[in-house]
A = this chain, B = another copy of it.
Amino acid sequence: MASGIRKIINDPVYGFITLDHPLVFKVIAHPWYQRLRRIHQMAFAQLVYPGAVHTRLHHSLGAYHLMCNALHELKNKGVVITPEEEVAAKIAILLHDVGHGPYSHALENKLLKGIHHETISIRIMEILNNELDGALTLAIEIFTNKYHKPFLHQLISGQLDVDRMDYLTRDSFFTGVSEGVIGYDRILKMLTVQNDELMVEEKAIYSIEKFLVSRRLMYWQVYLHKTVLCAEKMLVKIIERAQELITRGITVRSTSPVFDFFLQNHHTVTSIEAHLEQFCLLDDYDVLATIKNWMFHEDRVLAKLCDCLVTRRLLKVKLTATPVNPAWMEEQRNRICREMQIEERDCHYFLFSGVAENTTYDPREERINILFKDGTAKDISKVDNALIHQALASPVKKYYICYLN
């Protein structure tokens, strides 16, 4: 990023990202935004896809870029968007993920019980808004869907928002799973607004189908890849074990003071209010550096789990179409307790099962409006000869089991 009135950032996905507003510069330069450099977008996916090491900062810059393009296209089509709304929408997308903590898919409910990252994003925006004398007020209204032009919110958080358009594109790109590529540029060109609601033109139907099928593929091939799933669950088990030991009065410290704070007080911290400063210091480095130290902890369960995760000698995973046979589970349990010399109550750290599920498109919950030339609108699942049919509305479930081999 060169200094000046316009900054250009090289992006392997889109070529160049242009920043051209002082408020955008201020937000990006803020340490709380810069923290996103130290949080991987895809957590442990890199254990399977070595290129998937891009950061949440990179994703949010990418989503910002697509927002710029989307607003540009809509204005060209005659949709009224004021300069203030434009900046606000750009700021809102830049900050949409700022409340994410490290490995948040796994840890969201572990470190800060019951607090969703979106709540934290909003709280951070409010504080920045104070620092910046109210300059973010409109951005917050749009982000929280209180603004009278819902399509601006839908661009940030909807079925065709620039958030998922960027992450599907970017995640495909960095994993090298080229099949996940979506025609984001064509979809953006086909966006339109009717009655302040975001729609897509009729001729984008096949692109939208392709978008949903790509998402389906990315879920099963990448996000819910059994090895990625396993690593994530192992991290959860590690934190659970640490918290269990702490509860039992055994010393387990993180070398990062802020991470340590959330660990030691995991029973009592249930609101972000008093702890935002600390939260905004947390990142992947605290978690992984700590886990590396715990490889040598005296608790054998904790040490073993940490060692397995750090050295990528993960638990074995099986995916099945039906729940796992309890007898087989019992057999494994006995073997593991014996081999690891642990008690049965601790065996669940090395043997656990669960369900991965994903819905391709649920018209009861989702809504992608196709605007026809005659002015009528229909959901994508209702158009003639729809690929996206009723049967895809119910979630696909796959059962997984992880176990020490």
Contacts and interface: CB of A to CB of B under 8 A. Distances in A.
A196 interface: no
Interface stretch (A49-57, A237-245, A334-342, A344-352): A49-57
Contacts of A217: 206-207, 209-210
B256 A29 contact: no
Contact of A6 (B37, B53, B76): B76
A327 interface: no
Contacts of A34: 310-312
B256 A10 contact: no
Interface string A85-129: 000000000000000000000000000000000000000000000
Interface string A176-202: 111101110110010000000000000
Nearest to A49: B10
A98 B32 CA distance: 34
Given A50-B11, A209-B217, A213-B213, A178 B183 contact: yes
A206 B224 CA distance: 13
A214 interface: yes
A257 interface: yes
A12 B189 contact: no
A328 to B, nearest CB: 17
B387 A216 contact: yes
A189 B16 contact: yes
A326 interface: no
Contact of A46 (B37, B178, B312, B313): B37
A133 interface: no
Given A11-B51, A176-B15, A185-B16, A206 B216 contact: yes
Contacts of A384: 321, 396
Interface string A153-193: 00000000000000000000111111101110110010000
Contact of A181 (B181, B221, B285, B313): B181
Contacts of A174: 12
Given A10-B49, A281-B292, A206 B179 contact: yes
A207 to B, nearest CB: 6
Contacts of A50: 9, 11, 37, 54-55, 57-58, 61
A292 B257 CA distance: 10
Given A181-B178, A183-B178, A292-B281, A213 B209 contact: yes
15 contacts: A11-B176, A15-B176, A16-B186, A29-B313, A34-B311, A37-B50, A50-B55, A53-B55, A213-B213, A285-B288, A286-B289, A288-B289, A385-B396, A387-B392, A389-B391
Interface of A: 1-2, 6, 8-13, 15-16, 29, 31, 34, 37-38, 46-51, 53-55, 57-58, 61, 76, 173-179, 181-183, 185-186, 189, 203, 206-207, 209-210, 213-214, 216-217, 220-221, 227, 255-257, 281, 283, 285-286, 288-289, 292-293, 296, 310-313, 321, 360, 384-385, 387, 389, 391-392, 396
